[in-house]
Amino acid sequence: MLVSAKEMLEKAKAGHYAVGQFNINNLEWTKSILQTAQEMNSPVILGVSEGAGKYMCGFKTIVGMVEGMIEGLGITVPVALHLDHGTYEGAYKCIEAGFSSIMFDGSHYPIEENIQKTRELVAVCAKKGLSLEAEVGAIGGEEDGVLGGGEVADPNECKMIADLGVTMLAAGIGNIHGKYPANWPGLRFDTLAAISDKVGQMPLVLHGGTGIPADMIKKAISLGVSKINVNTECQLAFQAATRQYIEEGKDLVGKGFDPRKLLAPGCEAIKATVREKIELFGSANKA
Ligand SMILES: [Zn+2]
């Protein structure tokens, strides 16, 4: 059964670790992430962008696949199915389809409009027992074709959104989606500390987890980050392993063309990435 992310994130905040959100793209991705979380006895959040939702034939298809997989694989760790960077319309579609957690990204609206729409969704999600993530200060890089400016969030605006009763808050602290450029100045820990100070017990979310050095991840967790989003890193791991399989000509040997064989190295690479992140975030054996 899918669960809201509320309890797992409150436990993470209190226990000074973070739960990983791993974005999914297809059955192989979902299976690899769920199996690894189960092996490591870790709670897990499956992230779905609206683009990935379209690719997987709609949010209802995804709910069916994930619920079926939880049963079929005998998954007992807490699993939240979460809309990543949802639009206002997308949030309602996912609520309707049976997602257990929603992100409404109103960071591109003026703060008043972000507040008004977030407030409305807080009430809707509360009624259905779903967790809700809000965002203040756009996160840099590209997410489904939307290029964020990499703003640093205003701690006072963070407090205004947190006070609406959201479950968790994503705030721009110099983090970027995708690969980080060589001249990236690093996370803004001064801003993170100021936000943490303002919002108290509210779990904070760090987007763009790919390529942030381990020491910065640990420091961010110590300053109140309880959810870390990982997407690109699994894609790069899958790509490298699949490329190697083909370059070594393994698809040309015997039944190496069988998709279950062809995609297996990529799946193993996703599992290794997820395992490494769960260890780094400290959520192993916290299910
Ligand atoms: Zn993000």
Residues whose CB falls within 8 Å of the CB of residue 24, separated by 6 or more in sequence, listed in order:
30, 33, 46, 47, 48, 52, 56, 62
Residue 142's pLDDT band (cuts 50, 70, 90): low
CA of 279 to the centre of ligand 1 (A): 21
Domain-located, residue 287: no
Flag whether pLDDT at 170 surpasses 90.
Answer: yes
What pLDDT shows up at residue 165?
A: 96
Residue 141's pLDDT band (cuts 50, 70, 90): low
CA of 143 to the centre of ligand 1 (A): 7
141-143/146-148 β-pairing = antiparallel
Across 71-76, average pLDDT: 98
What pLDDT shows up at residue 205?
A: 97
Q: Note the pLDDT tens digit of each residue in 191-216.
A: 999 999 999 999 999 998 888 999 99
Overall number of domains in the chain: 1
Flag whether pLDDT at 219 surpasses 60.
Answer: yes
CA of 15 to the centre of ligand 1 (A): 24
Domain-located, residue 133: yes
Which positions are catalytic?
84
Domain-located, residue 223: yes
More confident residue, 149 or 92: 92
- Residue 66: which domain range? 6-281
- Residues within 5 A (CB) of ion ligand 1: 207
CATH code of the domain covering residue 118: 3.20.20.70
Q: Would you tell me how many other CB atoms lie within 10 Å of the CB of residue 45?
A: 29
CA of 39 to the centre of ligand 1 (A): 26
Across 184-193, average pLDDT: 91
Domain-located, residue 86: yes
Residues facing 117 on adjacent strands = none
Q: Note the pLDDT tens digit of each residue in 227-245.
A: 999 999 999 999 999 999 9
- DSSP for 157-206 reads HHHHHHTTT-SEEEE-BS-BSSSPPTT-----HHHHHHHHHHHTTPPEEE
Residue 143's pLDDT band (cuts 50, 70, 90): low
User: What's the mean per-residue pLDDT of the chain?
Assistant: 94
Residue 177's pLDDT band (cuts 50, 70, 90): confident
- In 3D, which of 36, 52, 30, 43 has the Cα closest to residue 3? 43
Residue 107's pLDDT band (cuts 50, 70, 90): confident
CA of 68 to the centre of ligand 1 (A): 27
Flag whether pLDDT at 145 surpasses 60.
Answer: no
CA of 72 to the centre of ligand 1 (A): 30
Q: Name the region of 241 (left: φ>0; alpha: ψ -120 to 50; beta: rest).
A: alpha
CA of 196 to the centre of ligand 1 (A): 19
Domain-located, residue 1: no
Contact (Cβ atoms closer than 8 angstroms) between residue 114 and residue 161: yes
DSSP H helical ranges for 84-180: 88-97, 111-128, 155-162
Domain-located, residue 286: no
What pLDDT shows up at residue 182?
A: 82
